A and B are shown apart, each in its own frame.
Chain A
Amino acid sequence: MDSMISLTIDNREVEVKRGASVLEAAQSVGVYIPTLCYHPSLEPFGACRLCVVEIEKMRGFPTSCTTPVAEGMVVHTDTPQLQQLRRSILELILTEHPQTCLTCPKNLNCELQRVAQYIGLNEISLPQLYKELPVKEDNPFFYRDYNLCILCGRCVRVCQEIRGVGAVAFTYRGSQALIGTAFDLPLLQAGCQFCGACIDVCPTGALIERSRRGWQALPERSVLTTCPYCGVGCQLRLEIKKGRIIGVTPELEAVVNQGQACVKGRFGIAEPIHHPDRLTTPLVRRNGKLEEATWEEAISQVAQRFTEIKERYGPDSLGAFSSSRCTNEENYLVQKLARTCFGTNNVDNCARI
């Protein structure tokens, strides 16, 4: 097939679609190349330069994220020279990145740590710089601690490229470079929609949900499910610890949302589900007041009263409203209940509302 290209990466034969980058080709066969500014949802940026490779018959050290594959290419991803180059880049990054991993919510789940693990570092010879920036707490959903920021620009790009919002941008240049909002406005006034996309792509702990701050933040397990809010059907991963939802991450692999969600799915799930107002026992009206009752009592009252009404006034005096917030299986059972037990077609859902 002429739309496929064959090349060699670290002595392995690789076949990929024309137009893929060398980085994507390597990833497709499980060859790890360290990256920090690259993200599968975003256009290649070529800024962090960690993904440099050597390509035979090509000069210098091209960045694999921006180099398209070509027929017969021979690529090396792990040579002493490359490792040395990467080590110097990483060293530069780490002189500006506080080594406070043990108290960082991203600990053990951090792309910067992963990259450092792969490259290895003997010492940091440059003096450590600390930016001493105040942590921004200007919105109710997440913190922005730009002391941890490595200026990969992923947040800026996801906000612009994917969300079409552009709430955050590079401000200043050179050694003064920083991520921020226009005129340093609070996010709320900068047009932010609190979709959380920037948090999901940030490779460091710079952007962190309020709910995740501190070390309790690693979930025990996660469950993939469908968002309960609108009908787009975003796939979300609920992260669970001790029987509670502690975080929600949109699923990158899902065809429907490809790693995106809105503020409701991203930040609006855990709190209402675990809210103290949740009803946990049946209530029955006694002397005009709703009072707690057992399941047995409540169910038998329901069955008895519905049966009485049906016998007295006929089946069409009963009705059921099902819900477009309930599952298919629940909706199926409600209409079955209405048509079999009640004996009426008076059943509807809130689709018209």
Chain B
Amino acid sequence: MADPRKTELADVADIWLNLWPGSNVALLNGMMQAIIKEGLENKAFIAQRTENFDELNKADYPPEMVSKITRVPAEKIVEAALLYARAAKAMIIYGLGITHHTTGTDGVMSLGNLALLTGNIGRRSTGVMPMRGQSNVQGACDMGALPNMYLGYQPISDSEVRTKFEKAWGLSLPQKPGLTSCEMIETMQQGKIKGLYILGEDPCQTDPDTDKVRRSLESLDFLVVQELFLTETTNYADVVLPAASFAECNGTFTSGERRIQRVRKAIAPLCGKENWQTICLIAQAMGYPMSYSNPAEIMDEISSLAPIFGGVSFKRLEGNGLQWPCPTPGHPGTEIMYTEKFSRPNGLAKFNQVDHKPSAEQPDDRYPLILTTGRRREHYDSGSMTRRCQGILQVWPEEKIEISPMDAQELDIIDGEEVVVRSRRGKVKVKVRVTDKSPRGVAFMAFHYQDALTNLLTNPALDPIAKTPEYKVCAICVEKIPQEAKEVVRK
């Protein structure tokens, strides 16, 4: 288990690699070097199913050097590497701790390298699996809610694909790739984006550098937000459309294991419309004939346009759903991918050696601590749902910044004390939890509460390829509130 923080998983792990935030790639390279040095790489798998191994082989990450970057003892890195390499079957499960970095793509590629090096892919109980934080992250991407892909990862740059969609949708389609959500926010203030429709997202609470997000949304000519509740983002909306919750809609979600499962309407939509109906109404009012009699029909259109969903229909989703790719109506779905071939033209997986790069923002004298952010088990994202659950609020009533006992002592701060946390972008007033979950020099906050908007602090620097922000590392300082100031506040 690799995590800078002593989480509950650290307690049950055989080996806990307590690495320094931002050193994932170095750690993984060190593990791979240790495996190669012991001759534990899977030579047959590398020869038959991969290419470009030499590049990886040449990389130079001796455990001692890796230990300096990651601050994990060299023996522990070697021990973990050998444990993984010697297992008959080993699986890598990762979360946003890998991806929420300016080196997020590099981190994921390194995980791929590690799995390929040991042949731990394409068999049951092996592979590289991202844990999906939201019910339909997988599906939202699968459906082509992406600026460069249509449905089923068919690139918009492929003219044959585009022609297919033009024919199906009955008009000519834009060729220029679009912007990601962070890039749209980035360019709003330059006036490039003037009108925006947001369905079920709260960037003013969940995107990095809240202040910038607010200014960007403010600069829009017209903002429509469709939501369950009023949120930080609806403050900037010109029109707010009520949304139906998952319990009020028919449809499907796709889980992290590519399993398409039914969402079934349990109660009538409180606002009178299911969300698909609202979207159709907007399209119709803009003069485009979008109409369906039910979500099953939408799924039929989806399966007709994307080979990987060719065999999917609501009827077939009864029971335990279907794992895509499922190309034909008789196909049972695909439980394990890459059993014989990888999805590259020559069917081989390619090693991509990547090097360690430091995080975009480093601690300095002014901002000496690293803030890493995440979620708490009981809460969900912006908290708009879980903060409205009395029981959960009793378990986690408020946000607290978690700092180590050593840091607390140096800052002369005690557990429960209110402090001001500052970064180059903003400040937040929040109480402290002193805990050995946080290593010295690293603080932790979640972002579930409206009265402590953690993302006022975070760094909007993006991974150059995936455009994922660096939520996991930014530099902060924690300031004690002087006694007099507190008294003034009290009065």
Q: Which residues of A contact B (CB under 8 A)?
A: 139-141, 164, 188, 193-194, 210, 223-233, 235, 238, 240, 243-245, 254-256, 262-264, 267-269, 271-273, 275, 277-285, 290, 293, 295, 298-307, 309-310, 313, 315-341, 343-353
| A353: nearest chain-B partner, CB-CB | B206
Complex-state Cα separation, A256 to B195, whole angstroms: 40
Contacts of A339 in B (CB 8 A): 165, 169, 173-174
Q: Which residues of B contact A (CB under 8 A)?
A: 12, 99, 131-148, 150-151, 156, 165, 169, 171, 173-174, 176-182, 184, 192-201, 203, 206-207, 221-222, 224, 227-230, 234, 237-243, 245-249, 251-257, 259-268, 270-273, 275-276, 278-283, 285-288, 290, 295, 298-299, 301-302, 320-321, 377-381, 384-386, 388-392, 394-395, 466-469
B145 touches A322 (CB 8 A): yes
Contacts of B248 in A (CB 8 A): 273
User: What's the minimum C-beta distance from B118 to chain A, rounded to whole angstroms?
Assistant: 26
Complex-state Cα separation, A275 to B203, whole angstroms: 22
Complex-state Cα separation, A227 to B133, whole angstroms: 12
| B200: nearest chain-A partner, CB-CB | A323
Contacts of B386 in A (CB 8 A): 264, 268, 272
B139 touches A328 (CB 8 A): yes
A318 touches B134 (CB 8 A): no
B295 touches A329 (CB 8 A): yes
Also in contact, A231 and B133, with CB within 8 A (given A282-B239, A327-B139): yes
| B270: nearest chain-A partner, CB-CB | A280
User: What's the minimum C-beta distance from B473 to chain A, rounded to whole angstroms?
Assistant: 16
User: What's the minimum C-beta distance from A324 to chain B, rounded to whole angstroms?
Assistant: 4
Complex-state Cα separation, A226 to B265, whole angstroms: 11
Also in contact, A271 and B196, with CB within 8 A (given A333-B280, A347-B147): no
Q: List 30 A-B contacts (CB under 8 A).
A: A188-B395, A226-B263, A229-B134, A233-B253, A243-B267, A256-B320, A263-B377, A263-B395, A268-B385, A268-B392, A271-B389, A275-B388, A278-B270, A279-B230, A303-B286, A307-B287, A309-B222, A310-B195, A321-B181, A322-B200, A324-B141, A327-B136, A334-B199, A337-B197, A337-B290, A346-B193, A348-B145, A348-B181, A352-B182, A353-B469
User: What's the minimum C-beta distance from B455 to chain A, rounded to whole angstroms?
Assistant: 10
Contact of B239 among A140, A263, A277, A285 (CB under 8 A): A285
Complex-state Cα separation, A344 to B177, whole angstroms: 8
User: What's the minimum C-beta distance from B224 to chain A, rounded to whole angstroms?
Assistant: 5
B174 touches A345 (CB 8 A): yes
Contact of B178 among A223, A231, A313, A348 (CB under 8 A): A348
Also in contact, A238 and B266, with CB within 8 A (given A306-B195, A327-B251, A348-B180): yes
User: What's the minimum C-beta distance from B28 to chain A, rounded to whole angstroms?
Assistant: 21
A230 touches B134 (CB 8 A): yes
Contacts of B290 in A (CB 8 A): 333, 336-337, 340-341
Complex-state Cα separation, A193 to B11, whole angstroms: 15
Contacts of B389 in A (CB 8 A): 267-268, 271-272
Also in contact, A334 and B145, with CB within 8 A (given A232-B255, A282-B242, A341-B288): yes
User: What's the minimum C-beta distance from B136 to chain A, rounded to whole angstroms?
Assistant: 5
User: What's the minimum C-beta distance from A303 to chain B, rounded to whole angstroms?
Assistant: 3
Contact of A341 among B139, B237, B238, B282 (CB under 8 A): B282
Complex-state Cα separation, A231 to B141, whole angstroms: 13
Complex-state Cα separation, A226 to B260, whole angstroms: 10
A324 touches B136 (CB 8 A): yes
Complex-state Cα separation, A295 to B255, whole angstroms: 33
5 pairs of A and B residues whose beta carbons are closest in the complex = A231-B132, A233-B255, A327-B251, A345-B178, A323-B200
Contacts of B178 in A (CB 8 A): 316, 319, 338, 344-348
Complex-state Cα separation, A88 to B156, whole angstroms: 73
Contacts of A298 in B (CB 8 A): 239, 241
Also in contact, A318 and B143, with CB within 8 A (given A233-B261, A295-B272): no
Contacts of A325 in B (CB 8 A): 134-136, 200-201, 246, 381
A235 touches B201 (CB 8 A): no
Contacts of B207 in A (CB 8 A): 353
A319 touches B179 (CB 8 A): yes
User: What's the minimum C-beta distance from A153 to chain B, rounded to whole angstroms?
Assistant: 23
Contacts of A255 in B (CB 8 A): 320
| A240: nearest chain-B partner, CB-CB | B266
A227 touches B268 (CB 8 A): no
Complex-state Cα separation, A250 to B265, whole angstroms: 17
Complex-state Cα separation, A309 to B272, whole angstroms: 29
Contacts of B174 in A (CB 8 A): 315-316, 339, 343-345
Contacts of A352 in B (CB 8 A): 99, 180-182, 466-469
B196 touches A324 (CB 8 A): no
B253 touches A226 (CB 8 A): yes
Contacts of A307 in B (CB 8 A): 286-287
B145 touches A335 (CB 8 A): yes
Contacts of A335 in B (CB 8 A): 143-146, 150-151
| B261: nearest chain-A partner, CB-CB | A226
| B142: nearest chain-A partner, CB-CB | A328
Also in contact, A305 and B299, with CB within 8 A (given A230-B135, A285-B238): no
A328 touches B169 (CB 8 A): no
A323 touches B201 (CB 8 A): yes
A233 touches B259 (CB 8 A): yes
B201 touches A329 (CB 8 A): no
User: What's the minimum C-beta distance from B183 to chain A, rounded to whole angstroms?
Assistant: 8
A290 touches B201 (CB 8 A): no
Also in contact, A225 and B246, with CB within 8 A (given A140-B391, A295-B272): yes
